[in-house]
Amino acid sequence: MKLEQSALHGTLPAIVTPFSPDGREVDAESLERLTEFHLSHGVTGFVACGSTGEAATLSDSEYLEVIRIVVDRVKGRVPVLAGVNSSSTLRAAECAAKLRDSGAAGVLLVSPPYNKPPQEGIYRHFEAVRDASGLPIVAYNIPGRTSVNIQPATIIRMAREGIIFGVKESSGSMDQVVDLLSELRSAGLLSKCAVVSGEDALVTPLMSCGGVGVITAVGNLIPERFVKMTSAALAGDLATAGKIQCEINPIVRAMFAETNPIPVKAALALKGLISSPAVRLPLVQAQAETISRIKKVLELYPLHLTGSLKGP
């Protein structure tokens, strides 16, 4: 199924890619178990093979395998977005074209990293991927990783021309979030281009200004808290959403003590949600002081981690 704008809301975990202890193989059983764990807590979608899923370290066959595993496990209950990230527009378009028959509902497309394209280059990159895949695109703005910020004017242009129907906003700037939402509203495009947070610490602030949810890394660990927070915000109960936001932020801080998803995978393994905390080089497993910090945080918030663990 293709993802419509109205379906992009609530809590969508950017699911980790579990590996065997030596990091050489995808751990399909853990991935299936984690997917079902999220579904049992009412998530509204998934992103597979995003940066949290270590897509940059996957082979082409592994990339499609991970998407297939998540899509097959979900069975159409919620949409699954596939991450696409390349400095080369040609390669990004080729990757997106392979998603046509994958069962993915849409594409989460990162602006090209490393080569620092101008705004016109970003626009043409997104246009080429749209043409190649035929799938709905959610733009992923994360200048901390790409070195280039997608300006609100470029988002407006792509939304107006139907190239994108949503934005994952990870600039870390509430000024930019407010400007973007204000300009979308003024252009009459807010109902056609959903804005979700890519910053786990800023979900409620973004939603209070007109955003509709989050694509989350930390939600891998505590999906029930993110679901309650986004559901409350969507219902207009910002007091409850804000309370939950403040409550979970110590966990959020701990999960970004090292490069994502190193701490998240360590925490998931500690809780038995995946079998191994293995990451692939150039990432390395969490340092001892990070593990100690994670254990302390999990001891403080044990009720956040309750939930069924259904096997595959």
Instruction: Please identify every residue annotated as catalytic.
Output: 140, 168
Distance (Å, whole) CA 70 – CA 108: 15
Q: Residue 2 phi/psi, 5° resolution?
A: -90, 145
Nearest 5 degrees, angle CA 158-CA 159-CA 165? 115
Q: Which of 73, 72, 38 is nearest to 52 (CA)?
A: 38
Q: Three-state SS for 296? A: helix
Structure tokens at 162: 């139907």
Those residues whose C-beta lies under 8 Å from the C-beta of residue 300, and which sit 6 or more positions away, are 250
Distance (Å, whole) CA 249 – CA 263: 15
8 Å CB contact between 214 and 201: no
Structure tokens at 276: 């191994």
The percent of the chain in helix, strand and coil, each rounded to the nearest 5, is 50, 10, 40
Where do we find the tokens 């592994």?
62
8 Å CB contact between 114 and 56: no
Q: Give one word for 163, left, alpha or beta, with left for phi > 0 and alpha for psi -120 to 50.
A: alpha
How many Cα atoms sit within 13 Å of 252 on the Cβ side? Answer: 18
8 Å CB contact between 107 and 133: yes
What's the DSSP call for residue 245? H
Distance (Å, whole) CA 229 – CA 242: 8
Those residues whose C-beta lies under 8 Å from the C-beta of residue 59, and which sit 6 or more positions away, are none
